[in-house]
Amino acid sequence: MATDGKYESHEYDVIVIGAGGAGLRAAIEASAQGAKTALICKSLLGKAHTVMAEGGIAAAMGNIYPEDNWKVHFRDTMRGGKLLNNWRMAQIHAQEAPARVLELEEWGALFDRTKDGRILQRDFGGHRYARLAHVGDRTGLEMIRTLQQHAVHKGIDVFMECTIARLLKDGDKVCGAFGYWRESGRFIAFRSKAVVLATGGVGKAWKITSNSWEYTGDGIAMAMDAGADLIDMEMVQFHPTGMVWPPSVRGILVTEGVRGDGGTLKNSENKRFMFNYIPEFFRAETAETEKEADAWYEDKKNRRTPDLLPRDEVARAINAEVKAGRGTAHGGVFLDIASRRSADYIQKRLPSMYHQFKELAGVDITKEAMEVGPTCHYIMGGVRVDGDTTATTVPGLFAAGEVAAGLHGANRLGGNSLSDLLVFGRRAGHHAAEYAKKLTGRAAVGEDQIAAVSQELLAPFHGEGGENPYSIHMELQDCMQSLVGIIRTESELKKALGEIDRFKERTKRIAVEGNRQYNPGWHLALDLRTMLAISEACTRSALERKESRGGHTRDDYPKTDPNLGKVNVVIRKRNGELTLTQEARPEMPDDLKQLLEEQK
Amino acid sequence: MAAEEFVMQVWRGDAAGGAFKEYRVPAGEGMVVLDVIHAIQARHASDLAVRWNCKAGKCGSCSAEINGKPRLMCMTRMNSLDTSEPITVAPMKTFPLIRDLVTDVSFNFEMAKRVPAFKPRPKEADGTYRMQQEDIDRVQEFHKCIECFLCQNVCHVIRDHDENKRYFAGPRLFVRYAALEMHPLDTNDRRELLKERMGLGFCNITKCCTEVCPEHIHITDNAIIPLKERVVDEFYDPLARLVRKITGKKS
């Protein structure tokens, strides 16, 4: 019953927590290295966030523009990230992405084709050349299904609908994980030589978000509890185009591919306002007139349309237009492809957008403009990793995908996430298996650790005070949305910290109804703890970075500070308290520096 | 006039039994059935069990029977239903119940394990593959499947005869087999397996699966019937078999 702390036990060389693109790719690689591998996921296999990715996988294959190569991709990624990126990760990512895409094809993926039968590549924000391998606007589905089927055929053990709540440690090393089956509520322990975190992001702490219920920051919070460093937690991406109407669909993603394929943003005065928001940093490469911008769609030798500036720039511009009273009736702006492309083209290139607007908003995007506005989409910050191995600062713990930080710096370019998952998922699986091979002996898992976690997990059944987890969650989302959103300021960030503290107190008084069998109220009560942990980390980092850069915009410090570009904000949890420090980033080697200069 | 509140009868219970329970929540513009379920969780029943993820028809998690019809809860707008009567929401019938709206869909994952893997032909000299768009169009249709399992749920071969699950892969898996069999790079042959152990012959093409597919995949016409034809060609057409033996070509 509710006080039952009994648990089942499993033993592996490598466990991978999370079964989106990064987790699946990591598990496939660890298993291929001969490690006994388990893949653990909160949902059914194939339902992870990757399935929702739309636009494509960025990889400089040069199928459309032979001028494209890893150096240009590296440069685009660094500039998109406002140079806060871990340059080593940006380099590896750009170099290895093409091979990872071709590997998917070898495993059965079918990307859209060029006329000569190669993989077609599409334009996206911040990428100099058409670079995204894609399948219409459902690339994530193709990717996750391919990886899922490949993993299944390799015989990897999968634990579905199993939530990991805590990493277990033997001294300073990670040696396993503990959690519960969602279906039965029963506990489960994994003893493992290495652990790969591939748990994704944090968006469910914000009200308007493109993220699903799973995005509660579990991996980041568990890593922090296990003693790992976090960096760049203030860097949250608001995707410029989420749905805004009707209210029930607010935040659902509208792919950047709409703009890549010819769609433009307009305000209520029918003006293409993005021309008024071209920052100095991107002025030399951005078109200044509508005519010039439209010419770019035909020939990439022209300067690119400002509609496809990096996401942070576009999100801020939309925010400013709405604030200035030039928004739509529902507080968004218009995204128009209907007047610019044929109905056939739109339905072929953007079938799921067509379907989504038709079904959920009653809007025919081949005839009318869409209403869009910013939506919390992605966190660039997260667990600090080594660029080559994905090792965290805790021995035995690796991290890949959104949970890890560094590759994207202060702002991620569209399409760089799916390639990130493949490149660093593979590396995480490889290095976790290598690490596990070198370990001898069996890790000691203290029963006291397990007893303590069990007790915490069951606490909501004994709570007194009648707090409802759904109410606290909604209030947290309001707080993060209004006080730690696109535009931030010191007084509001401090206010948010006060509210987060009060939410923490209230979560202690949560009382859930029902029993342990498939009980969403109980699950949310537990997820609230991780959401509160990452909300605090994000807010405190945002206070610490007194400048505006990428996904972090401070109303009280509107300029970019070159000195702060040289540091990461690092968070550590020690004795239950968060400590924040600014630490110097490693110096970029001259040959890479030169790439940034040359390619301007 | 739009309704001010929605009345919904939701199935509550587990394998041991249960019943429909009525809930009322305030109506909001544009709400879908899943929004109402979430409102019920937040206001009346925090332990109401339901699966969902993307809330945009892309992940296929929130399948249920709404007023008796198998559909995705996230893509069913309340204003498409007659809300003057209570709306009923029940779990998928074909799969064993876990709790409330959540069923045990492991049958589908077990059947997926039994599909012989993709086995590509060798690459071109430059280390890549060349394929024409028109050669992959039909397979890309199959790859749209979001694994909501509504087609499995509605298929009468297993809906009314649980014992058939041992011999019958079901429409979702036939789509998967078709995707592999028609993949321009694949070299595996799954026809004997389909005929002998996956129960392709049980399907009598009533098209119930096609009707419920939220991705509008032509399951019967484009996947199942062509698979049936391939099996017939392989096992019942001696001339075609001989030609293939000589030329070494798959149909």
Contact (CB<8Å) B56/A356: yes
Nearest to A379 by CA among A412, A423, A422: A412
Q: What is the DSSP string of A504-538?
A: HHHHTTB---S-STT-HHHHHHHHHHHHHHHHHHH
* Distances, alpha carbon B206 to alpha carbons B148, B151, B155, B209, in Å: 20, 12, 9, 8
pLDDT of residue A2: 44
What's the pLDDT tens digit per position in A125-142? 999 999 999 999 999 999
Q: Tokens 């400013």 label which residue?
A: A320
Task: Centre a 10 Å sphere on the Cβ of residue B245 and count the other Cβ atoms it contains.
Answer: 9
Contact B28 A247 (CB under 8 A): yes
For residue A459 the two structure tokens come to 């606490």
CA A151, A152, A154, A157: dihedral to nearest 10 degrees? 90
In three-state secondary structure terms, A244 is coil
* A and B: number of Cβ contacts within 8 A: 166
Which parts of A313-437 are beta strand (E)?
333-336, 370-379, 382-383, 397-399
Structure token digits, residue A480: 């993060």
Q: What is the DSSP string of A378-401?
A: EES-EE---TTT-B-SSTTEEE-G
Q: Is the pLDDT confidence value at B109 over 80?
A: yes
Torsion of CA A335, A339, A341, A347, to 10 degrees: 70
Q: What are phi and psi of B219, to 5 degrees?
A: -60, -50
- Whether the per-residue pLDDT at B230 is higher than 80: the answer is yes
Q: Does A239 participate in catalysis according to the annotation? A: yes
Which listed residue (A127, A259, A316, A473) is catalytic? A259
The encoded tokens of residue A372 equal 């869009």
Q: At what angle do helices A469-483 and A490-507 cross, to 10 degrees?
A: 170
CB contact under 8 A, B14 and A361: no
Is residue B40 a contact partner of residue B34, using CB atoms and an 8 Å limit?
no
**Token output for A153:** 């055929």
Facing residue for A141 by CB, picked from B50, B58, B128: B58
Do residues B213 and B165 touch, judged by C-beta distance below 8 A? no
- How confident is the model at residue B251, as a pLDDT? 47
Residue A552 contacts by C-beta under 8 Å, 6 or more apart in sequence? Answer: A234, A235, A236, A410, A488, A542, A545
Q: Best of A63, A110, A145, A360 to disrupt the B interface by mutation (most B CBs within 10 Å)?
A: A110
Q: Do B130 and A152 lie within an 8 Å CB cutoff?
A: no
Which among B40, B59, B71 is the top mutation candidate for probing chain A, defined by the most A β-carbons within 10 Å of its own β-carbon?
B59
CA distance B58 to chain A (A): 6
Low-confidence residues of chain A: pLDDT under 70 = 1-3, 599-600
Q: What is the pLDDT of residue B1?
A: 42
Model confidence band, residue B250 (pLDDT cutoffs 50, 70, 90): low
- The DSSP code for A588 is P
List CB contacts (< 8 A) between B186 and chain A: 108
pLDDT given at position B70: 97
CB contact under 8 A, A52 and B77: no
The predicted model scores a pTM of: 0.96
CB contact under 8 A, B143 and A160: no
In Å, how far are A309, A381, A492, A593, B225 from A489, measured between CA atoms?
A: 24, 19, 6, 33, 62
Residue A278 one-letter amino acid: I
Q: What is the pLDDT of residues B165-184, one digit of tens each?
A: 999 999 999 999 999 999 99
Please report, as a single letter, which amino acid is at residue B248. G
HEC per residue, A170-200:
ECCEEEEEEEEECCCCCEEEEEEEEEEECCC
**B96 contact residues in A (CB cutoff 8 A):** none
Question: Which chain A residues are closer than 8 Å to B54 by Cβ?
Answer: 47, 51-52, 212
pLDDT digits (tens, 9 = 90+) for B133-171: 999 999 999 999 999 999 999 999 999 999 999 999 999
User: In the structure, how many helices (H) and strands (E) does chain A have?
Assistant: 17, 20
Cα–Cα distance measured from residue A207 to residue A217, given in angstroms and rounded to the nearest whole number: 15
Task: Give the Cα separation of A288 and A310 in Å (integer).
Answer: 16
Measured between CA atoms, the residue of chain B closest to residue A115 is: B132
* Closest chain B C-alpha to A281 CA, distance in angstroms: 35
State whether B143 and A474 contact (CB < 8 Å): no
